[in-house]
Amino acid sequence: MLNHQTTDSDSLNRQINALFAVLAEIHGTDQLILKAGKLDSLNLMRSEKLEERVLALERIVHEDPTIQQERSLEEIPSMLDEFEEYLADLLARRQLEEKLEKRINMKMQERHLEYLKEIRQQVLKEEAGPDNAQTLKKYAELEMLEQKNLSRSTQELMRPQSLDQVVGQEKAIRALLTKLSSPFPQHIILYGPPGVGKTTVARLALKYAKEKSYTPFDENAPFIEVDGTTLRWDPREVTNPLLGSVHDPIYQGARRDLADGAVPEPKLGLVTQAHGGVLFIDEIGELDLILQNKLLKVMEDKRVTFESSYYDPDDPQIPKYIHKLFSEGAPADFVLIGATTRDPSEISPAFRSRCAEVFFDPLTPQDIISIVKSAAQRLGARLEDGVAEMISEYTIEGRQATRLLADAYSTALYKRSDESVEDLIISVADIQEVIQAARLSSYVGVKASSTKEVGRILGLGVSGYLGSVLEIEAVAFPASSPGKGSIRFNDTAGSMAKDSVANAAAVFRSLTGRQLTDYDIHVNVVGGGNIDGPSAGVAILAAIISAVWEIPLPQDIAVTGELSIRGKVKPIGGLHPKIYGARQAGVKKVFIPKENWDEISEQPSEVEIVPIDTVTEFLQAILGTEVSRFQLSVAN
């Protein structure tokens, strides 16, 4: 309770000091002291007691030395609010009076002193425009609000301040810099999952480019940022914040002086504000298709044109800048950087043909650990062993990782007995409490192991830019009658996965000479994951063979590839995200179609990549001598 009262007292003391400072600014320090002396308040003003200082304020504000009653601590906050209201009125009047005096002095230089009364009336008439005592009071209140501010947010504090602080995106940063930091910079589209640093890298890349003498960006080159999901425009071009619009005289928002003369006024858009710099559009894939086409036209012409049926080029009342905008347009020579979480196939081909493409990788657990440790240093906190590793199990987004750390920081501070933030230690218990409160679950649902199991194998799937491991299992029982067996498959896995099962049945017969209908087979994708595409065909066949012959399969390998009915392993899409998913799950070896091999520019050290051309190669690689238990009739 004592700490709480002390905090309230300190807050009131600071507020009283601020009010005295405003009075000193209004009256002048010397005049304020003289006024306090006349009102018998000088000693009260210098007192250590809050009640006496408030009494001094009350006497000075009301200019009444007879006020004797001291206010209680409960009454002081309301009294201070009244004083603030009084000072806001006083500041508004003072500002208006100063403004009037300046105008009067200017008029007095042009006319004789005998016209002083008329000039004062004229100035009062001119000042009866947008500002008056009420509006100036509101302005003064806003100015007082500006004096109050909180500390920087944790996201701002922990955001990378230079490119070398960005974790896990070395290739993407290099690709972006080579395309932007050039005598001939290109328009660029950034692809990648959320929270990997696309916006931050774009900002820092322009800063890097401005430091190079051979780039066209000067030191004042702007970085204009906008979110594509929030851009709204009117097809009549009454409003278009991106490209600019024309306010015709009949529409609300036109300037009165121009509307009275039936003059249309062009309003410049973000593309002109970005002239000479970078226009960054986040979530560019969400931009309206018609607006995308208009933006492409501006990018080609490097200029925005304006049209209006109200524009008359021969009207002498039209200002020169409006003539120039209608006749020549507004400059819009900028570099577009668009960011999206969508797949490239979902982006307009017209945009993709005009832009270089840079792909940001999903963050690995080690990247998240590095981000968390770096953010902890910026917070000035120490981490207990295991904190960073635990955060990396629950997120793959750098933004969310720093947010979890910030929440754990606040939790640790809340538990602390004193109010000091020095030497704060964030424990595993703190981050566990945050994770439980947020109801998070581990990002990696399936993990590889060094064991072997019958009828179970790991496949690979992908959603957007994120790959994952699919747990595919199968069981087999002899059919009650030969040729009367059935094959079951969970519907939630998708129609293409069912086609993969049918292909696996055909290849099973080719490999073994047996009919799969001699067995009751149940194939299941654990968790009901929807397999987008036929890439699980090889894995399904391996699971079925393992179940029928009871041959255990290694659980630290994964395979992806479409299975043709001739036993060939056909290429698949989303290879990089799939390998990423395998790394996340701790897979040691990944088998991929041989035709996808050229897509692997650099093999990750944690995972061995093995190309295969036929299913026979794959089965021999994972089963070894167990292959002799059934006949392989498909040629390599």
275 phi, psi to nearest 5 deg = -55, 125
Helices (H), 428-468: 428-438
Q: How far apart are CA 389 and CA 406, in angstroms?
A: 16
- The residue annotated as part of the active site, out of 137, 179, 198, 578, is 578
Q: How far apart are CA 447 and CA 163, in angstroms?
A: 33
Return the ∠ at Cα 497 (arms to 491 and 503), rounded to 5°: 125
DSSP codes of every residue in 470-512: EEEEEEEEE-SSTT---EEE-GGG-HHHHHHHHHHHHHHHHHH
Q: Classify the C-alpha dihedral 292-298-299-300 as positive or negative.
A: positive
Q: How far apart are CA 179 and CA 358, in angstroms?
A: 9
Question: What's the number of CA atoms in the CB half-sphere (13 Å) around residue 473?
Answer: 10
DSSP codes of every residue in 548-609: HHT-EEESSEEE--EEPTTSBEE--S-HHHHHHHHHHHT-SEEEEEGGGGGG-SS--TTSEE
> What does each C-alpha distance from 61 to 55, 78, 634 come to in angstroms?
10, 15, 100
Q: How far apart are CA 72 and CA 60, in angstroms?
A: 18
Q: What token pair was written down for 427?
A: 């424990």
Q: Is 578 annotated as catalytic? A: yes
DSSP codes of every residue in 381-412: EEE-TTHHHHHHHH---HHHHHHHHHHHHHHH
DSSP 614: B
470 phi, psi to nearest 5 deg = -105, 130
> What does each C-alpha distance from 523 to 144, 507, 511 come to in angstroms?
69, 16, 19
Q: Is 535 annotated as catalytic? A: yes
Q: Which amino acid is at 545?
A: I
Which of 68, 167, 238 is closest to 397 using CA atoms?
167
Q: Which amino acid is at 279?
A: L
The secondary structure element, H or E, covering residue 464 is none
Q: How far apart are CA 240 and CA 233, in angstroms?
A: 5
Distance of CA 28 to the CA centre of its chain: 48
Q: How far apart are CA 40 and CA 46, in angstroms?
A: 12
- The residue annotated as part of the active site, out of 308, 392, 468, 535, is 535
Which of 242, 225, 222, 226 is closest to 234 using CA atoms?
242
Q: Which long-range contacts (CB under 8 A, 24 or more apart) does 354-358 make?
A: 354/187, 354/296, 354/299, 355/186, 355/187, 355/188, 355/189, 356/179, 356/186, 356/187, 356/188, 356/189, 357/188, 357/189, 357/191, 358/172, 358/175, 358/176, 358/179, 358/188, 358/189, 358/190, 358/191
User: Are the C-beta atoms of 189 and 284 separated by less than 8 Å?
Assistant: yes
Active-site residues: which are they?
A: 535, 578
